[in-house]
Amino acid sequence: MADVARLAGVSSQTVSRVSNGYAGVNEETRQQVLEAMRELGYRPNSAARALKRGEFRTIGVITFGLSTTGNVRTLEAIATSAAHEGYAVTLLPVAVPTQDEVRGAFSRLGELAVDAVIVILEVHLLDAVTLSLPPHIKVVVADSDAGDRYTVVDTDQAGGSRDAVRYLLGLGHETVWHLAGPEESFAAQRRADAWRAELTGAGRATPPLVRGDWSAESGYRAGLELAGQPDCTAVFAANDQMALGLLRALHERGRYVPDDVSVIGFDDIPEAGSFLPPLTTVHQDFAEVGRRCVEGVLRQMGQDTPEHGTTLVPTRLVVRDSAGAPRSR
Amino acid sequence: MADVARLAGVSSQTVSRVSNGYAGVNEETRQQVLEAMRELGYRPNSAARALKRGEFRTIGVITFGLSTTGNVRTLEAIATSAAHEGYAVTLLPVAVPTQDEVRGAFSRLGELAVDAVIVILEVHLLDAVTLSLPPHIKVVVADSDAGDRYTVVDTDQAGGSRDAVRYLLGLGHETVWHLAGPEESFAAQRRADAWRAELTGAGRATPPLVRGDWSAESGYRAGLELAGQPDCTAVFAANDQMALGLLRALHERGRYVPDDVSVIGFDDIPEAGSFLPPLTTVHQDFAEVGRRCVEGVLRQMGQDTPEHGTTLVPTRLVVRDSAGAPRSR
DNA sequence: CCATCAGATGTTTACGTAAACATAACAGGC
DNA sequence: GCCTGTTATGTTTACGTAAACATCTGATGG
């Protein structure tokens, strides 16, 4: 900066003013400074800036792996929104979703150049971890039920599940089975709860819940099991990957979809329309979740007090070919 | 820091020494300092550190979208490796893969707190962009052919493609069709080149190349076309998503896989084993690519001169059920 | 018993920036 | 012609840290 100032024949403060687009600079001076910057290839040093301003213009994102579509899409939207607002995004991968790992990530975060954190961790691990965060760092959590302590942005899991079950019942199915996600997952829990509630509300029997782990492979195993249940005519899978495995198992066992068994997924991953048959599924607007996370974080940075409360992003049932009326008995 | 020093009854320099694990500090003093740190909740300020040290311990990752599995898995491995080495990862999403956008990302990068960059951009857009990078920033490129100018880490696209084609020919197919990725993609280009070379080398006819855009939907459209070619008995798809769409199209048109048509994909995404039928595909070791990217970046940071040259990560053909011998004529 | 040296700790300074304050030049009103 | 206000610019300072250098203590060896 000093070099630029010297070359342009001004003080370093004037360079700073130009560099920050400050108003009260003579147009002629400004051009000289810009020219000098160009000539010297000047780049403001972000460390010094951050030090001086006391903020990094960076948002940290804590996430467990990038294996699930939802996390990735949300992350992508976060990165885009953040970039749009002039914020950078720093990634904090948590290797294994254990209490210790999460705590570790949070404490690494403490020394990290970050003004705020968005946590995309659907598992029940946030509880004991709160304390280790420096107090000035703002937090938004996606996919959690910690709405009483944090700002939470979530998909309307319950609404989406309700729509799926209602749609299947509307097609004439006696009841709907559920292929759930892993126990540790908040999202899985809420989808299962809503499924159960909707069935109960409609006065239908609740079949035993089948557990998967989000993977297509687990869906396949569950599918082999379900294929053996002759009274199973409709399945609501908690995500599209498991639905994919389910489709394969049913196909292998000669149970045709949708003629013998109807299947509905959750997420609407880009490939869902290319499954065999194309999957009817609940569309999640991950991009919107990401945007609102960034929004929430920035809003909190404008004020001193942290917020809490939950924002729900609505879902939409995308009807394709994997669900139909049950074969008439 | 000054507060900690006061509380511990030492100078701030001693606090710094403790904080950085410096050797020559009396054990007793050290404990007092640590105690004071704990009591005051002291966190070293990373901006000040970066300013003083002249390095940020941060790696920037430029990537176009997070839509392709490969990019995401690579990114994940990068983040993990980097964290392991005490480096943070900052994400620089490029919204649209145009020259301007890429240039923009690179110039934003100039002001970003980053010591090195890993570019995961498979498209032909790097060429004109070189200049805008501050000279001290180290670069590693994944999935590119810029090996003469940068350190490049790539999957052995050619080897994988060759194996796929060779395997299909070995099963007795007369020739192999190719469902290629988009023209702008380096990876797509290399896979297509290797496919053509292998066919030519084996003295087989080269069917017209069919173009997709990596998406399952484009694979479906291509599949409808290929289903109309009676002499098409084997297809090598440039990625698994397109293979998925292809499978659906073939199925809809009554061309059975693998009896009528054999299909091989590329990537080995986690779901590939759950396709109908389970997909034979070329496994890419994205994790290894990510690791080597970080390794390359760190290595260059240890020295002054940038490197160039290409490292290839080997692939592996994963045989499942989508490819078989052609129906005897 | 003093010179020498090693280990432990303190003091000064600089990293690059921008806020706060200071100064200078000039226009306009009375 | 002097005061006031405005605009443009310069000077000083502090952000939190760690390198470089300075100092102090006590031990060792001749």
Residue A244 has pLDDT above 90, yes or no: yes
**Contact assessment for residue B96 and residue B121, using Cβ atoms and an 8 Å cutoff:** no
Q: Is the CB of A171 under 7 A from strand C?
A: no
pLDDT in tens, B121-176: 877 766 655 556 677 788 898 887 777 788 999 999 999 999 999 999 999 999 99
User: Which of A80, A95, A113 lies nearest to residue B113, judging by beta carbons?
Assistant: A113
Give the pLDDT score at B98. Answer: 76
Q: Give the pair of three-digit tokens for residue A58.
A: 């960076």
How close, in Å, is residue A203 to chain B by CA atoms?
A: 35
pLDDT in tens, A119-136: 988 777 666 565 566 777
Closest CA to A115 of A85, A93, A94, A143: A85
3-state secondary structure of A280: strand
More confident residue, B308 or B122: B308
Closest CA to B321 of B283, B285, B272: B272
Residue A242 in any domain: the answer is: yes
Closest CA to B281 of B326, B322, B324: B322
User: Which of B110, B251, B271 lies nearest to residue A244, judging by beta carbons?
Assistant: B271
Give the pLDDT score at A316. Answer: 97
Could you identify the residue whose CA is nearest to the C1' atom of nucleotide C15? Answer: B52
Closest CA to A326 of A226, A233, A247: A233
CA of B25 to C1' of D27 (A): 18
Residues B123 and B179 in one domain: no
Q: Does B107 touch chain A (CB under 8 A)?
A: no
More confident residue, A191 or B305: A191
CA of B10 to C1' of D24 (A): 14
Output DSSP code: residue B271. Answer: G
Per CB-CB distance under 8 Å, the chain A contacts of B134 are 41, 43
User: Which of A47, A93, A244 lies nearest to residue B274, judging by beta carbons?
Assistant: A244
More confident residue, B24 or B309: B309
| Alpha-carbon gap, residue B182 to A264, rounded angstroms | 32
Give the pLDDT score at A131. Answer: 52
How close, in Å, is residue A79 to chain B by CA atoms?
A: 6
Chain A window 142-201: which residues touch B at a Cβ cutoff of 8 Å?
A: none
Q: Does B227 touch chain A (CB under 8 A)?
A: no
How close, in Å, is residue A88 to chain B by CA atoms?
A: 7
Per CB-CB distance under 8 Å, the chain B contacts of A44 are 111
Q: Does A96 touch chain B (CB under 8 A)?
A: no
Per-residue pLDDT band for A302 (boundaries 50, 70, 90) equals confident
How close, in Å, is residue B46 to chain A by CA atoms?
A: 6
Residues B121 and B165 in one domain: no
Output DSSP code: residue A283. Answer: E
Residue among A61, A67, A87, A91 with most chain B CBs within 10 A, to mutate? A91
Per-residue pLDDT band for B298 (boundaries 50, 70, 90) equals very high
Residues A195 and A96 in one domain: no
Give the pLDDT score at B214. Answer: 94
Average confidence (pLDDT) over A96-116:
79
More confident residue, B294 or B329: B294
Per-residue pLDDT band for B67 (boundaries 50, 70, 90) equals confident
Residue A51 has pLDDT above 60, yes or no: yes
Q: Does A47 touch chain B (CB under 8 A)?
A: yes
Which B residues between 104 and 123 have a beta carbon under 7 A from any strand C atom?
Answer: none
Residues B169 and B269 in one domain: yes
Q: Is the CB of A44 under 7 A from strand C?
A: yes
Residues A167 and A244 in one domain: yes
| Alpha-carbon gap, residue A314 to A90, rounded angstroms | 28
Per CB-CB distance under 8 Å, the chain B contacts of A91 are 75, 79, 88-91
| Alpha-carbon gap, residue B145 to B153, rounded angstroms | 9
Residue among B220, B248, B271 with most chain A CBs within 10 A, to mutate? B271
Residue A115 has pLDDT above 80, yes or no: yes
Q: Does B51 contact A66 at a Cβ distance shorter than 8 Å?
A: no
What percent of chain B has a predicted confidence (pLDDT) above 70? 97
Residue B205 in any domain: the answer is: yes
Give the pLDDT score at B129. Answer: 59
The listed range with the strongest mean pLDDT (A64-68, A225-229, B142-146, B185-189) is A225-229
Residues B107 and B149 in one domain: yes
- Chain A: residue whose CA lies nearest to B218: A274
Residue B86 has pLDDT above 90, yes or no: no
Residue A327 in any domain: the answer is: no
Per-residue pLDDT band for B114 (boundaries 50, 70, 90) equals confident
How close, in Å, is residue A151 to chain B by CA atoms?
A: 23
Residue A319 in any domain: the answer is: no
Residue A137 has pLDDT above 90, yes or no: no
Residue B176 in any domain: the answer is: yes
pLDDT in tens, A180-200: 999 988 899 999 999 999 999
Q: Is the CB of B29 under 7 A from strand C?
A: yes
- Of A99-113, A209-223, B186-200, B301-315, least confident by mean pLDDT is A99-113
Residue A328 in any domain: the answer is: no
CATH of the domain at B105: 3.40.50.2300
User: Which of B66, B83, B245 lies nearest to residue A72, judging by beta carbons?
Assistant: B66
Give the pLDDT score at B93. Answer: 82
Residue among B274, B291, B294, B321 with most chain A CBs within 10 A, to mutate? B274
Residue B102 has pLDDT above 90, yes or no: no
Residues B86 and B125 in one domain: yes
Average confidence (pLDDT) over A283-289:
95
Q: Is the CB of A49 under 7 A from strand C?
A: yes
Residues B237 and B119 in one domain: no
User: Which of B41, B66, B276 lies nearest to residue A76, judging by beta carbons?
Assistant: B66
Chain A window 3-32: which residues touch B at a Cβ cutoff of 8 Å?
A: none
Residues A144 and A248 in one domain: no
Q: How many structural domains is chain B composed of?
A: 3
Q: Is the CB of B11 under 7 A from strand C?
A: yes
Helix residue ranges, H only, A85-239: 99-110, 157-170, 186-201, 216-227
Give the pLDDT score at A148. Answer: 79
Average pLDDT, chain A: 90
- Of A83-87, A91-95, B134-138, B153-157, least confident by mean pLDDT is B134-138
Average confidence (pLDDT) over B267-271:
95
Give the pLDDT score at A68. Answer: 81
Q: Give the pair of three-digit tokens for residue B96.
A: 């649209």
Residue B151 in any domain: the answer is: yes
Give the pLDDT score at A274. Answer: 95
Per-residue pLDDT band for A70 (boundaries 50, 70, 90) equals confident
Residues A165 and A223 in one domain: yes
| Alpha-carbon gap, residue B186 to B178, rounded angstroms | 16
Per-residue 3-state assignment (H helix, E strand, C coil) for B60-126 = EEEEECCCCHHHHHHHHHHHHHHHHCCCEEEEEEECCCCHHHHHHHHHHHHCCCCCEEEEECCECCC
Give the pLDDT score at A54. Answer: 86
Give the pLDDT score at A251. Answer: 95
Residues A143 and A201 in one domain: no
Give the pLDDT score at A130. Answer: 58
Per CB-CB distance under 8 Å, the chain B contacts of A241 are 270-271, 274
Per CB-CB distance under 8 Å, the chain A contacts of B50 are 47, 50, 113
Q: Does B216 contact A274 at a Cβ distance shorter than 8 Å?
A: yes
Q: Is the CB of B31 under 7 A from strand C?
A: no
Residue B245 in any domain: the answer is: yes
Q: Which domain holds residue A33?
A: 2-44
Per CB-CB distance under 8 Å, the chain B contacts of A51 are 45, 47-48, 51
The sheet with strand B58-64 has its strands ordered as A309-313, A151-155, A138-142, A116-120, A58-64, A88-94, B88-94, B58-64, B116-120, B138-142, B151-155, B309-313
Place of tokens 């389970």: B278
CATH of the domain at A37: 1.10.260.40
Give the pLDDT score at B43. Answer: 87
The listed range with the strongest mean pLDDT (A36-45, B147-156, B189-198) is B189-198
Give the pLDDT score at A150. Answer: 87
Residues whose CB is below 7 A of strand D: A 9-14, 17, 24-26, 28-30, 48, 51-52, 54; B 1-2, 12-13, 16, 19-20, 43-45, 48-49, 51-53
Residues A292 and A278 in one domain: no
The listed range with the strongest mean pLDDT (A224-233, B105-114, B145-154) is A224-233
